[in-house]
Structure 1
Amino acid sequence: MSNVIGILLDRKTYLGILRNQTGYEHIDYYNQAAVELGMTPFYMCLKHVNTKSALGLSFENKNYTLKRLPIPKVIHNRAMTLSPMSQKKLQAIAKISQVFNGQNRHDKLHIHRLLRASANSSAFLPHAMKYSRENLIKAMKREDSFFVKPTNSSVGKGIIKVNAMSDGVWQVWWSNQLPRQLVEQQTIDFIDRKVNDQRYLIQETIPLSMYEGRPYDLRVSVQRGDKGQWGVTGIAGKVAADGRHVTNLAKGGEAVRCEKLFLNNGFDPVVKRKQVEEVALQIAESLSLQIPSISDVGMDMGIDHQGAIWLIEVNGRDQRYQYKHLNLNKTFYRTYETPMLYAKYLLSK
């Protein structure tokens, strides 16, 4: 048990291991890293875990074995625990094990407020506030362009973009529909219906740099690794599809190497990449002071027309597949190896 590392997965992913159907999770990379580091990965899902032991798949000698083991001393959480029952179970496990990235779905407005209070990170945040009808009216008076976003969703779901036009007309993008042009009251009523008492925020639009007439942002993988230190494992560009306002690959976005994007906009690719990495590390350090278990995040960051760097949002469960799209196989592997290095570090403490 001294070298066993627990890897907690969603049930569907866990059940797919033996069929080699694990979605975006490249389980073989965990296995490869574990073997190279002299560790044994033990895959679990919450359904088969109690406060003393877990039934799971142990990868040893190039094979999986179903067995029941005591709760591993260190667990890397890749499961999305949204229900109160699963959160309670994970909290109980965290009392007897070092669970890193235990909380991996973060309320976007809560993260914004934590970072806004930090001198090291506040300068990189666009203005944001909680959604309400009153705040929507304030935003329409103050901003020419803004987003209305769910505070607790992923892959670009539920996002509304709002742009001011002339003569009190607003252009509103919703889902994958064509933009509609509405007068002020129609805009307010439309957005209020879509929000419908859900938790949303209003965020100032960053004038993102463009690539072939389409806006792009960056996915920056920031992880704790050897010796527990933060590092940037990889950066990948995400370019919105024609006519779209979100860059998510799941919404038709295109993965493009960041160096190509930087060159296209006249930025020195080496200098700009280093600047992005420095900002990402500052934000990670600030965030980990408030959320100690956080250790593996995917930051969406934007660069405006002047080259300034902005944080759009923090994703607590980076899906990493953008590197696979770009054939950045070494980087893709390192996004799995780095948390295993961190797990080995925690195990040695």
Structure 2
Amino acid sequence: MNPSRRGVIVSNVIGILLDLKTYLGILRNQTGYEHIDYYNQAAVELGMTPFYMCLKHVNTKSALGLCFENKNYTLKRLPIPKVIHNRAMTLSPTSLKKLKAIAKISQVFNGQNRHDKLHIHRLLRASANSSVFLPHTVKYSRENLVKAMNREDSFFVKPTNSSVGKGIIKVAAMPDGVWQVWWSNQLPRQLAQQQTIDFIDGKVNSQRYLIQKAIPLSMYEGRPYDLRVSVQRGDKGQWGVTGIAGKVAAVGRHVTNLAKGGEAVRCEKLFLSNGFDPVVKRKQVEEAAILIAESLSIQIPSISDVGMDIGIDHQGAIWLIEVNGRDQRYQYKHLNLNKTFYRTYETPMLYAKFLLSK
């Protein structure tokens, strides 16, 4: 007979680690981008009990959290689940230390889900399978900035540890030694070379940034687009692509993020607008994304649920822009791709059941 704690079959419990704000919002149905009902639905269909936790209420032996059973939430203290899907952003030294302690007694997948972009680039560059998809990228320095201005017609200066397009600067060469610079939501400015260097250096201001060659992205209605590709481990522990959604930049913007005014568009529509065969191109994107995920998971074994930003250039070549360790998934909701949206929650639960069975 399986051990239980107040009616809960502990061996069937799957931990889902959330940020404190998201955790506290469960009973009020205010969980932001997290569609908790989909976790519940998937877990129930798979014969598992989801147990929602936050690091504040966890110690090295047990956790106080919300158990979803019989269509209701119950506050319980249970032993640390054997398998935990991490959806919390653990950036502080304290939270990282606690997460590492939990990982010693539990299989925590996607344990560290905020990754330094330059570190990820270096890991992938070492793999022949993934390096072909990487645009030229270097650590930011004033010297490397000057080199980029001598080498590239267009490039990005990006913070290595941010999300939703924050802090990104785009730089493009114009005639007569003038550079066009896009920063934040401001209109682009035109600056001489030395002014450009001083402006960018001032914005970076000793923070950790990188310089990345701009991909000549394919366009939709005169605006650049890229793809958000959800790549997840599933029921047999293997990588697969759960969904693909297009993100089109707002008019005059240099980033495609929906949080920065971008528009979600179905990828097939984007492919057709550029003359790409939608079936062939989607398959190529999926194959590239899986190769990248497999290469990355050799270096970071716990990684299992990511959102990749992938660009396609005018010739149809595929490029990795960045890897997001905590895919928000809401682009599928914008596109009414409800089955795909559900599957992005079901797939981690399938992987959790696979880990539990081992």
TM-score, length-normalised on structure 1?
A: 1.00
What's the offset of the Cα at 1:284? 0.4
Separation in 1, partners of 2:303, 2:246? 23
- Give CA-to-partner distance per residue, 1:25-60, whole Å, 9 cap, x none: 000000000000000000000000000000000000
Shift of residue 61, structure 1, vs aligned partner: 0.2
Deviations 1:279-309 (A, max 9, x none): 0000000000000000000000000000000
Give 5+ residue unaligned stretches, structure 2.
1-9
**Secondary structure of 2:14's match?**
strand
* Cα offsets for 1:237-271 (capped at 9, x unmatched): 00000000000000000000000000000000000
Instruction: Tell me how far 1:330 sits from its aligned partner.
Output: 0.1
Offset from partner CA, 1:124-162 (integer Å, 9 cap, x none): 000000000010001000001000000000000000000
How far, CA to CA, are the matches of 1:265 and 1:166 in structure 2? 28
SS in 1 for 2:132: helix
**Superposition map of 1:1-349 within 5 A:** 1-349=10-358
**Equivalent-residue separation in structure 2 for 1:142 and 1:103 (angstroms):** 35
Using the TM superposition, give the Cα deviation of residue 10 of structure 1 relative to its aligned residue in structure 2, in angstroms.
Answer: 0.2
Look up the SS of the partner of 2:236 in the other structure: helix
Aligned Cα RMSD in Å? Answer: 0.3
SS in 2 for 1:42: strand
Task: State the shift of 1:314 in Å.
Answer: 0.2
Q: Write the distance in 1 (CA, Å) between the matches of 2:133 and 2:86.
A: 28
Identity %: 92
Residue 20 of structure 1: CA displacement? 0.1
- Please state whether the residue corresponding to 2:129 is helix, strand or coil: coil
Q: Which secondary structure does the structure 2 equivalent of 1:7 belong to?
A: strand
Instruction: Report the Cα distance in structure 1 between the residues aligned to 2:349 and 2:132, rounded to whole angstroms.
Output: 32
Q: Residues of 2 paired with 1:139 and 1:85: CA distance?
A: 38
Q: CA deviation at 1:22?
A: 0.1
Deviation at 1:11, TM superposition (A): 0.2
Q: Report Cα offsets for 1:99-120 as digits up to 9, x if no partner.
A: 0000100000000000001000
- What is the alpha-carbon distance in structure 2 between the residues aligned to residue 322 and residue 217 of structure 1? 13
Cα distance in 2 for residues equivalent to 1:280 and 1:135: 29
Deviations 1:170-208 (A, max 9, x none): 000000000000000000000000000000000000000
**Shift of residue 66, structure 1, vs aligned partner:** 0.2
Determine helix, strand or coil for the equivalent of 2:170: strand
Q: Count how many residue pairs are aligned between Structure 1 and Structure 2.
A: 349
Q: Measure the CA separation in 2 of the matches of 1:67 and 1:115.
A: 42
Task: Find the aligned partners of 2:284 and 2:194 in 1 and give their Cα distance.
Answer: 42
1:326 deviates by 0.1
The Cα of 1:275 is off from its aligned counterpart by 0.3
- The alignment partner of 1:177 has SS state of coil
What SS does the aligned partner of 1:223 have?
strand
What SS does structure 1 have at the residue aligned with 2:176? coil
Cα distance in 2 for partners of 1:60, 1:170 equals: 59
